[in-house]
Every structure is written in C-alpha cells, then in structure tokens.
A and B are shown apart, each in its own frame.
Chain A
Amino acid sequence: MIAEIGHAALWLAAALAALQMVAGALALRAPEGTTSPYALYARPAAVVQALLAVLAFAMLLYAFAITDLSVKLVATNSHSLKPFLYKLTGTWGNHEGSMLLWVAVLALSGGLLAFAERRLPERTMSATLSVQGFVAIGFYFFLLVSSNPFERLPVPALEGVGLNPLLQDIGLAVHPPTLYIGYVGLSVAFSLAMGALITRQVTPAFAKVMRPWVLGAWVFLTLGITAGSYWAYYELGWGGWWFWDPVENASLMPWLAATALLHSVSVLAARDALRTWTIMLGVVAFSMSMLGTFLVRSGVLTSVHAFAVDPERGTLLLALLGLYIGGSLTIFAMRASSISEGKRFKASSREGALVFNNVMLSAILAIVLLGTLYPLLTEAFDVRVSVGPPYFNPAGAIFAIPMFIIMAVGPLLRWKDDKVSRIQPELMVLASVALLIVALVVFLGDYPLLPILGLALSGALALAALMPLRGRRLTRVPTATWGMVLAHFGVAVSLFGMASEAAFTEERLAAVSPGGSEEIGGWTIALEGVDPVSGPNWTAIEARIAASRGGGEPVILNPQARNFWAPSQATSESALLTRWDGQLYAVIGDAAGVDAQGQQRWQLRIWWKPFVTFIWYGGLLIALGGILSIAGRVQVDLKRRRATQIGDERRADEAAIAAGARGPQGAQGTQGGIAPEPAE
C-alpha cells in the first residue's frame, strides 16, 4: 500500500503541476491591469503539489526504513542487515530515489514561493509559477516514465543486495540532499527570472524578491560542496580534497554561477543596474544545475563516483535539458533587447568591481565547463582523454587571482562613482601585507608559484574583508554587512588552507613491519601491529599506528583496508588526526612482502597536511556569511512590512477621527502606534 500511495501522490502532483502551468499561462492573457480568474489556481496548485511530492518522498523513505523488499528499488539498494541510518540514506543513494528527492525539493521550493511571496506584481507571479510548473512537469514525467521509484517486484526478494559501500558513510547521508536543495533552490531563481523577463518587470523590487532564494540556494550549495570535498578527502583515501572529477565539477559550476548571480542581483536591487546580465545568470545558474544532474545521471562522462548508468534515461534527461535550457535561452535571446538598460556607473565604483568579478567568475565557470565537457568532445573523435589538475589549476588561477585582488578592493569602493585615490592608504596596506608574505615564504623555502600567490592573497584578502568594519560602531553594522564580511573572510581562510596544503604537505610512502617507525613533518609514526577486524557487512585489516610529536603522548590511529560483501568492493578507510595546525592522514595499503626477520611488512601512506582543515572551516564561514545575509535581509523586510502596516493603520485612524467617528480598528491602531519605528 505504502508504495502505491507514493506512486499515486506523484501522479496527482504531476497533474497539479500541469494545472499550475496552464493557469499561470492563461492568467497572462488577461489584459494589463485586470486580474484573470485563472490566476486564482496557480498558487494553491503549487502548494498542494508540494505537499503531495513531499508525501511521495516520505512514502519511499518509509519503504526503505522498514526494508520493504517487494519494492524493486529497496531490494536492489538496501539490505535488512544494514545499519538503520544507512537504510534511510539509501533512499537517495540511487538514481530513482535521488531523482524523487530532486523533484520533491523542486515542488517544495515552488510551493514555498507560492505560499510566502506577496511583493511581486500578480502578473509576474503568475508567469513565475507557470514556469515553475512547466519545469516540474518535465521532471515528474521523467520520474514516472523512466525511473519509477515505486515499482514492485512480481515476487518479493528474499534479501536486498546492499548499497555501494563507498556510499555507506555519514558524510554521504547529508551531502546529496544538501546539494540538491542548492541545485533546486536555483529553480526558483530561474522561474523568477523567466517570469520577470516574460512580463518585462526586471526591477529592483524583483531583485529583492529573488535575492533570498539565490542566497539560500547558494548557502546549501556551499555547504554541499564543502561536505563533499571533505568526504572525498577522507573516504577516497588519496589524500586530495578536490579531484576535478565531473561529479565535483557538476556541483562547482552551479555554485560559480550562483555566486555571480548573488552579486549581480545585489547590484540590481541596490542600483537598478545589470538587468539583462542578472536575468542571464539566473538562467545559467539553473541550467548548470540541470546540466550537472544530466552529466552525473546519464553516464556520458566517466567518473570515480559510480552511479547507475542508463543511456535511455540520459536521452530523456537531454530532451528535458533541451526543452528548458534551450527554451529559456531562446526566450532570453528574443526578449533581452526589450529590457531597457539599467543605470550607468563608472568603472571605478563598487558596481564596477562587482561586474569585473562577475566576469571573472563566469570565465572560471567557462573553464570548468570546458574542462568537464572536453572529454565528451574528444570521445566523439574516439580519443579518450582525462582532464585534470594540470589544466584546471593554472587555467582557473589566471582568472581567480585578479578576482581575489578585486574582491579585496571592491567592498572598499562606493557605489556609482568613486576614485581609487580615495582608498589609496588601504591599498598600500594590503599590497604591503601581500608582498611581506611572498618575501617570507620565498625566504623559507622553494615552493611553487601558485601556492605562494595563494598565501599572499589570502593574507591580504583576510585583512581587506575586515576593512569595511573599520571606523563603524560594530553594534550598528547591519546584519547583511556582517554576512558579507564573514563570507569574504571565509574565502580568505579557505584560500589559505588550499595554498598551505599545496605548498607545505609532506608525504611518506613506506613498507613498514610491526615495530618499525617513520618520521614525517615533526611526527614519529610507529606501526604497532596489524589486526583483522570485521563489521556488520565488511571485513578489514586494521593497522595500529602510534603517532607522537615532540616527545608528547602518542595517539593511536587505525586506518583500515575494508572488503565489503553484497556487493563486493574494497575501500580504504583513512585515519585522521586533527591538530589546530594541520592534519595527519594515514592509509594502510597492501601487504608488501616480508622483512629480514620474516615479519610481514605493510604499505603505509602518511601525509602531514599543515592547515588543510582551514579549507573546510572557510567553507563553513562562507555559508554562515550567507545565512547572516539572508537573516539581515529578512529582518529589514519584516521591519518594513510592520512599518507599512502601522502607517496604514494610523492613517486609517486619523481618517476615522477626522470623520468624527471611531473606526473599527481604532483600539488596535493606538496599540500599534506605540511600536518603535524601524531603524532604516
């Protein structure tokens, strides 16, 4: 029954998406200034559709929770002996389940928009909801036709066949949902952009409505990428934290587009400039989300992240992509010229800096996109290539370095028109900090160019990020400004971690027999022994390693080489030792022959990575900055709404008194009048 309820809810939701699309579109046909009767349906349809889609997902979650082996998806992806938490996460650890999650989040954000957003002109809102319904319906179709998660087996399976053991990890429990919320949150920005484009309402008011959605999606994307990077770091056991793998790039590209969009929408909201550019980024950001989903799910690219691959699904997804991206870009091409150009500004102004960085971010996006798709292009000519760090790092850095410089300077400039000479003292301070760091690092040793530049820029950027607070009473600084300061400071922290990891990492690969020891980065690593261990669905060999520094108390590390059954797969479980100034990273490899005393030797791989954790601390700071920024905006908006309400009530009162009669809201009005006026 459970599966059937879920399946039915999905069909109903699809029908409501159709209603939402048609009602929204019909509402647009009413002449300007009048309200079409059809407009009535779009909002409720979106809300109920959201409830139904969430219900469908809850039903699937329940089927996984009780391991209902008559459902095909559960039987092929779960196992009755699996730990309960991983049974739940198994819901989205597969193609159908993750697509259902995708659609549920899509419906939920559409429903939230329909429910909560009252600031936009009703026509723009109708167009927006119509587009949102149009997007949703395609994905319902995809799910129901080619990836039905609720399909039953003719005969229930006796036992499930497990879950990819690489995915059996707490990091993965939260990673995909976080990313999906980010991906799909951008769908609202997309729908709003299309709605505004269709009804020619690209205004600062529209930008203010769009901004929290972009910010929210961006926060989730940031968290998702940060978590994903840390997951790959400790789970894949290669010691790296970013591999430029297509799946990673698929999450990075929407983030880059969303970062650009976030800044350009702020310019639009504050200064009524960058109209077409903002619309274009809104389309591109969500296109990148869909493109990412397509690349990951269709299997056109080979990735270390193993997912189910099915060419038929790929074709369907590509068709959807063609419909949405192709369609929206066509509308953009036809309509963009009719949006009048926004306000003008000087190059040396805050807008100028933001535009420059928008272009840099877009260039990095183009580089990542090209690198990700290049293997697809060459494979068409039967050449298999893999594009990796040797391309991405320098090509990305060409644009990232100027971007970081402008990022340090931009927030110091004023809107519209400013002179660089005004902020000369600050620039001198920043430049000397950067030069000092370069001199120090070059003096310390022989390091590659990019990490040195990274260290210098991170120092200057950290200082620059705090500069907007200078000379202000900290208690009076708006929350949104704190958000910007924190996010920019987070970028500096993250950049410092990356540069430090790239410059100072020490690595040791050695065959050690029990009792032997190795030295690395000031640490003494002693292999005490190697034992066989077993878990609920795996067996492993586990090393006992005592790590000590400077004669201190040794800490025991237990890296494992695991063998899973159902399905069989070998994974490497790294052991990490975190200190404030870095991380010790240990992996055990294969047996490596016997030593002179006849003792078994084991391959140990140890890294000392100074300040590597700052990469992810930075990521968290960036996300926190985004959260503060949303909180600040919402706070201001609520204050403004209350002020308007109070003002209305007072005016009503005055009118009533003037008319010589007490209005019905009189008592209420006097109460409201006591409330303080908002600060801004």
Chain B
Amino acid sequence: MIRPVYFIPLAFFVFFAGLAGFMLTQEKDQFVESHMIGQTLPDFALRPATDNRPGVSIEDFRDGQPKLLNVWASWCLPCIAEAPHLETLKQSGAEIVGVAIRDRPADVANFLSRHGNPYSRIGADDLSALQLELGSSGVPETFVIDGDGTILHQHIGDIRAEHVPILLEMLKEARS
C-alpha cells in the first residue's frame, strides 16, 4: 500500500525543479545600456596611460573623423580575447581610441606588448570617472563616436569576429 501523503515532498520538489529549469532557460538581461547613446561625449581630458601613446581629451573626437572608443583594462580577460579583432578593425581603417580603466603604466605596456596595440591614443581613467559618465558598467565596452563627438552605438562585452563588419559599417555610415 502506498500512502499519498508521502508524495508531498516529491511534489514540492518537482515544482521547484520545473521552475528552476524554466528560469535557467530564460535569457538573463545582464547588460546595462547606456543612456548616453545619441548624446555628445562629456568634457574630459585623460593623461596618457602609457609612454608611447598620447592621452585622450574631448578635442580628439571633434576632428570630423568617426572613431571607436574602446574601454578596457590590462587586468581584464575578455580584453585579451578581443585584442585580435581590434587589430582587424584597425587594419580595416578604423581609428581606435583606448581608455584604460584603473590601470598602471607598466601593466598597460606589458599588455600591449603581448596582445598588440591597435590604439591611436590611450587615456588613463584611474577612478572610472569617464567610464561612469559614458554610462558604461564594465570592461570591455566599445562606443562608436561620430565626427562631432556624438555617441552612436554602444557595444557591451568583448568584440568577436562577427561584430567586426557591423562596427565597420557603422563607421562608414558615420563618415558619409
């Protein structure tokens, strides 16, 4: 004889497992989109993050040339993963301006010597001040900026091979 009362714990567990299984299949929205898209860059001026590249200021984005603004750090692993794709972007004619978050010059130089240096300029953002003003919540993130310093697009996370043509297309549109 089987008593139904002993099935109660099992019923609870089956309910939980179903719920948890359902939740695991749901895409979790972990990306925080910037509210700055469509607006111009804030005023800023950053010291050089390394010896062989100049620092970055708002003036550099007002020369009429669309650019990519790459927020990264030498201590960030996905940044290593995206390094080759940044190199491809550079070779396809994109100008990439780097902002190194909470970094030390020696670490930056070390990173660049190992993983390549696609940047025309690299500014040091020691307290994430510019990063926060950009509305970026993590590294790496990449912004497409037009020739007047307006933010057109925000790419959250590392750039993968499939993102390269999309970013190039955006830069091309910004130029015309």
Give me the interface of A with B, judged by CB distance under 8 Å.
76, 158-159, 161-162, 276, 280, 283-284, 287, 294, 298-300, 311, 314-315, 318, 321-322, 325-326, 329-330, 332-334, 336-337, 373, 376-377, 379-380, 563, 565-568
Contact = CB atoms under 8 A, between A and B. Distances in A.
A168 to B, nearest CB: 15
Nearest to B9: A329
Nearest to B73: A568
Given A76-B77, A568-B75, A333 B20 contact: no
Interface residues of B, number: 30
B29 to A, nearest CB: 10
B20 A318 contact: yes
A158 B23 CA distance: 39
Given A318-B20, A332-B9, A336-B6, 18 more contacts: A159-B110, A162-B75, A300-B23, A315-B24, A318-B17, A318-B24, A325-B13, A329-B10, A330-B10, A333-B2, A333-B7, A336-B3, A337-B2, A376-B19, A376-B20, A379-B26, A380-B19, A568-B101
B136 to A, nearest CB: 14
Contacts of A276: 6
Contacts of B7: 333
B153 interface: no
A144 B104 CA distance: 37
A161 B9 contact: no
Interface in B47-82: 73, 75-77
A279 to B, nearest CB: 10
Nearest to A315: B24
Given A329-B13, A337-B6, A377 B76 contact: no
B170 to A, nearest CB: 29
Interface string B95-134: 0000001111000001000100000000000001000000
20 contacts: A158-B114, A300-B23, A300-B24, A318-B21, A322-B17, A325-B13, A326-B17, A329-B10, A332-B9, A333-B9, A334-B2, A337-B2, A377-B19, A379-B23, A379-B26, A563-B102, A565-B103, A568-B73, A568-B102, A568-B128
Given A311-B24, A326-B13, A329-B9, A337 B102 contact: no
Given A318-B20, A333-B7, A161 B13 contact: no
A377 B16 CA distance: 9
Interface of B: 1-3, 6-7, 9-10, 13-14, 16-17, 19-24, 26, 28, 73, 75-77, 101-104, 110, 114, 128
Given A337-B1, A373-B16, A314 B101 contact: no
Contacts, number: 81
Nearest to A312: B24
A276 B23 CA distance: 33
Contact of A298 (B2, B9, B24): B24
A287 B21 contact: no
- Chain B, interface SS category: helix
A283 B6 CA distance: 13
Contacts of A565: 75, 102-104
B65 to A, nearest CB: 31
Contacts of B110: 158-159
Nearest to B23: A300
Nearest to B111: A158
B155 to A, nearest CB: 21
B77 A333 contact: no
B20 A337 contact: no
A308 to B, nearest CB: 12
A156 to B, nearest CB: 12
B161 to A, nearest CB: 18
A499 B2 CA distance: 46
A614 B114 CA distance: 54
Contacts of B9: 280, 283-284, 329, 332-333
Contacts of A161: 75-77
A403 to B, nearest CB: 21
Which has the most chain A C-beta neighbours within 10 Å: B19, B23, B26? B23
A627 B75 CA distance: 45
